[in-house]
Amino acid sequence: MSRSARFRELLKSPPFVCLGAHDALTAKLAEQAGAKAIYVSGFAASGILAGEPDVGLLTQTEMFDHIRRICRATSLPVFADADTGYGGILDVQRTIRLWEEAGASVLHLEDQAVPKKCGHFAGKQVIPKEEMQAKLRAMLAARTDPDFFVVARTDAIAVTGIDDAIERLTAYAEAGADGLYADAPESIEHMQELVRRLKPLGKPILFNMARTGKSPYLTLDQVYKLGFDYTLCPIESMLATHKAVKEMMEIFLREGSTDAVADRLTSFTDFNRFVGLDEAVAIETSYNVANAELERKVDAA
């Protein structure tokens, strides 16, 4: 079964979380921890690749390369942020082709105007819903893997209100979107209204569990009981990395040693085991032994 087909199977047994991974290493960690799917955030990509805020600075091909490296490091289905599709009709069609080529199984396309911003930032603007419908139809027409899952995202709650956000997602469902996602609902009442009015459309509804954004922070079980089918835990791996590395560097520069944080450092041996050094050495050795045996037989002949 393909990774895309496996993602669709997950949707038959909710709830589950797409665990954020900001690079190949954290993708491997997510899989080892037991995650069922991985999420690749544009917010995290901007921070990791460029050290910049999520204000639409990364290009389509930068994000493609980032997603591809993560997909190579894991066997899990990968849900990859596609921002606004990086332009117009032809751009969104190229985006889905590239995301498929990279190995992703899911993307979300948002209805923000350029320059886009993180969904939890102030100052967002949205395009007309008819324009977003056209982009969705074009993207879906360019899909080559029928199991690839396209989520329509609206950022309208903070711009034009909850009613417009729901009207937009209803229109995006009509355009053929596989799933629906309103980013940054600001209260449990918003969440309840989204579910009440969108559930009859029969499309899986996504919730973003980012801990320190605009939305209420709830557990996966609480979100499911409200009626959401699955969630994103999008940027926590990056935030945890930022805090841990910041503290380690500050302590080392202050004390001239990492003694104070030694218990928080993976050993050299354990890290090499995790990234597959033992397997790499075994493969190389097996071929070298076979080659040496071949050379011995040739010399004997």
Give catalytic residues, as residue numbers. 39, 54, 81, 83, 108, 110, 118, 153, 186, 208
Please give the single-letter amino acid code of residue 87.
G
Q: Compute the Cα dihedral for 161, 165, 168, 170 and give only its sign.
A: negative
